[in-house]
């Protein structure tokens, strides 16, 4: 089942790239060839069987893509259809939207069926020339919006195992300062966990009311290439009636040059896939090292991790307390007593007082808990690596290094 979902995800990821490229209706083959060339910037190697045009609609069939490490190319089902195709004066192309056929797959041997519907890209742009110098424009002008869903994984008897109602990614036009704002949302994530047969899992599922798991994900951020500032305003993961986890941060040094270096790595991966080369563990490690080397000068400006409770904390107290033979309230009282003992060896008295106050406030009335980093100056990732031994020996070095702040039950929540 996981392999089926994985390959479908790859097919959809490929479509996001496909959906970002229109074609001249009078020369569909030239468009398809351009698409193959452009796709390499995304780290994918495409091929196709034929391309045809009728009016301002272009259809590509026999479309497959390959990625290093995959045994066989993945086929995009049916035709990829582009509507409202127009050639630009510069020699590029635009299209109003692109679609692929709904995906329906059944593995009788494993007893699993998968369906994926309504896969659409809108506001499509294909540049006149594809090269690394134009990587930024190609990457952020591929499409205005991509959406899909529902995605459903079920048994062949119709029993639903996992589903996502809708997923969407969007990119806005650059603002006055040249900032590219983008976001995503994944809504209606659900899973039937009551079908898990492991005996040790059932008590946990029942205690936290997870027989039917329901969740959603959202993200929003802006990147200013000229200054190298990347602001992640809010990445959130929400589990209905349990809790929400939110991440926000500002990074400095994420420049256009860095983006182009990442595209070079993508091109290398695409070339390997095109040649049918296997991606060894050693090669993967080399790619990871190269990426980390490019990221070394990226710096953390500030950040926060915020937990918002809906019922998870008290359910955890009840569950853990029951394992120790006490009720949740008794375990809570013991937890409050343990906080100062746990921090007894911390030398920074101000930090100790801040943590004690925040933790006890949250335990008494679990609303939200936030860990924030507010360094005086942005801290490069390379500095964390350089001080790794020091940090490992004494993790509290990070308290001063990041100017960590701990708080509970704050009234102000991140913007959604």
Is 47 or 186 the better-scoring residue by pLDDT? Answer: 186
What does the alpha-carbon distance between residue 218 and residue 365 come to, in Å, rounded to a whole number?
27
Q: What is the pLDDT of residue 21?
A: 37
Highest-confidence segment of 261-265, 322-326, 358-362: 358-362
CA 357 to chain centre: 34
Q: Residue 329, Cβ neighbours under 10 Å: how many?
A: 12
What confidence tier does 32 reach under pLDDT thresholds 50, 70, 90?
A: confident
Least confident among 171-180, 309-318, 399-408: 171-180
Specify the pTM. Answer: 0.83
Q: Average pLDDT in the 82-91 region?
A: 86
Asked whether residue 1 carries a pLDDT value surpassing 70, the answer given is no
What confidence tier does 181 reach under pLDDT thresholds 50, 70, 90?
A: very high
| Of the candidates 135, 151, 147, 149, the residue with the CA atom closest to the CA atom of residue 171 | 147
What confidence tier does 378 reach under pLDDT thresholds 50, 70, 90?
A: very high
Q: What is the pLDDT of residue 230?
A: 96
Q: Average pLDDT in the 70-93 region?
A: 83
| Of the candidates 241, 181, 248, the residue with the CA atom closest to the CA atom of residue 216 | 241
Q: Average pLDDT in the 74-80 region?
A: 84
What confidence tier does 76 reach under pLDDT thresholds 50, 70, 90?
A: confident
- Please spell the DSSP secondary structure of 178-211, one letter per residue: -PEEEEEEEEEEEEEGGG---TTHHHHHHHTT-S
- Please report, rounded to a whole number, the percentage of residues in the chain having pLDDT higher than 90: 41
- Burial category of 378 from C-beta neighbours within 10 Å (exposed 0-12, middle 13-18, buried 19 and up): middle
């Amino acid at each position: 089942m996981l392999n089926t979902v994985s390959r479908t995800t790859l097919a959809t990821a490929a479509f996001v790239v496909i959906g970002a490229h229109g074609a001249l209706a009078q020369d569909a083959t030239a468009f398809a060839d351009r698409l193959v060339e452009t796709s390499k910037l995304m780290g994918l190697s495409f091929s196709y069987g034929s391309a045809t045009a009728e009016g301002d609609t272009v259809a590509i069939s026999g479309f497959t893509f390959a990625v290093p490490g995959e045994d066989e190319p993945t086929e995009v089902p049916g035709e990829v259809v582009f509507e409202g195709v127009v050639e630009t004066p510069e020699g590029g192309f635009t299209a109003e939207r692109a679609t692929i056929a709904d995906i329906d797959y059944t593995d009788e041997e494993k007893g699993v069926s998968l369906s994926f519907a309504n896969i659409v890209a809108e506001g499509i742009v294909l540049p006149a020339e594809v090269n690394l110098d134009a990587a930024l424009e190609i990457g952020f002008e591929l499409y205005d919006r991509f959406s899909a869903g529902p995605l459903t994984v079920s048994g062949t008897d119709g029993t639903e195992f996992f589903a996502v109602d809708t997923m969407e990614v969007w990119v806005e036009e650059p603002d006055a300062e040249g900032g590219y704002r983008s976001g995503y949302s994944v809504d209606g994530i659900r899973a039937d966990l009551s079908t898990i047969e492991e005996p040790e899992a059932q008590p946990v599922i029942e205690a936290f009311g997870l027989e039917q798991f329901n969740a959603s994900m959202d993200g929003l951020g802006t990147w200013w290439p000229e200054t190298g500032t990347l602001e992640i305003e809010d990445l959130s993961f929400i589990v209905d009636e349990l809790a929400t986890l939110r991440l926000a941060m500002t990074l400095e040094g994420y420049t256009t040059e860095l983006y182009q270096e990442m595209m070079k790595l993508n091109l290398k991966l695409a070339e390997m896939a095109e040649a049918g080369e296997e991606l060894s563990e050693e090669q993967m490690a080399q790619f990871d090292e190269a990426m980390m080397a490019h990221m070394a000068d990226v710096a953390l400006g500030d950040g926060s991790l915020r937990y918002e409770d809906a019922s998870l904390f008290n359910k955890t107290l009840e569950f853990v307390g029951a394992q120790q033979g006490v009720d949740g309230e008794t375990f809570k009282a013991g937890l409050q007593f343990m906080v100062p003992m746990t921090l007894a060896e911390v030398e920074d008295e101000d930090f100790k007082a801040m943590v004690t106050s925040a933790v006890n406030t949250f335990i008494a009335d679990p609303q939200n808990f936030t860990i924030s980093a507010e360094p005086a100056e942005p801290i490069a990732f390379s500095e964390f690596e350089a001080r790794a031994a020091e940090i490992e020996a004494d993790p509290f070095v990070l308290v001063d290094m990041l100017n960590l702040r701990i708080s509970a039950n704050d009234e102000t929540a991140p913007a959604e």
